[in-house]
Amino acid sequence: MSNQNNTFERVLVGVDDSADAQLAFRYAMHRCIKDGSTLIITSILENNEMNVYQALTKDYVHGERKELEAHMQEYRKVALDAGVKNVELMVAEGDPGETIVKDVIPSCDADLLVIGSLSKKGIKKYFGSQAAYMAKHAPISVMIIR
């Protein structure tokens, strides 16, 4: 399908707590308001950042995931309050770049991926080094916000 008028119907945005992910979220949100598109917000729970003890503790993973899901509801509320008509949420687990390309995009049927460019140092470096991977491998258009 050719996209002459340059509107996307289903915009997927990857969020974490980094400043540029916030920029990506705001960009995606405003674009969805302008185009009347659906906003799909995703965040990835990275399992490689747990130590062995935590990995053996189901409650730890469950707790982290619940916290992330609660955080996602806040993003959803912001988007709806701002005027986005439809907001969907997707939480997945794994390596962010790979998980978004191989699992999230196909299952949510997005036609544009919006991500931030910087990597966070430390415990939750979600998207940065992953941005290049996603730009290269995503089966849909990718917009990197900086």
Radius of gyration of the chain (CA): 15
Q: Note the pLDDT of residue 139.
A: 96
Domains of the chain: 27-145 (3.40.50.620)
pLDDT value for 122: 43
Which pLDDT band holds residue 146 (cuts at 50, 70, 90)? confident
| Locus of tokens 């949420």 | 89
The 10s digit of each residue's pLDDT in 82-140 is: 999 999 999 998 888 899 999 999 999 999 999 988 655 543 444 446 888 899 999 99
Residue in the structure block whose two tokens are 């969907």: 88
- Chain centroid to CA 30: 16
Q: pLDDT, tens digit, for every residue of 54-68?
A: 666 667 667 788 888
What average pLDDT does range 39-64 have in this prediction? 75
- 84 near 35, Cβ under 8 Å? no
Contact 117, 35 (CB under 8 A): no
Residue 100: the pLDDT is 94
CA 133 – CA 146 distance, rounded (Å): 16
Q: Whole-prediction pTM value?
A: 0.84
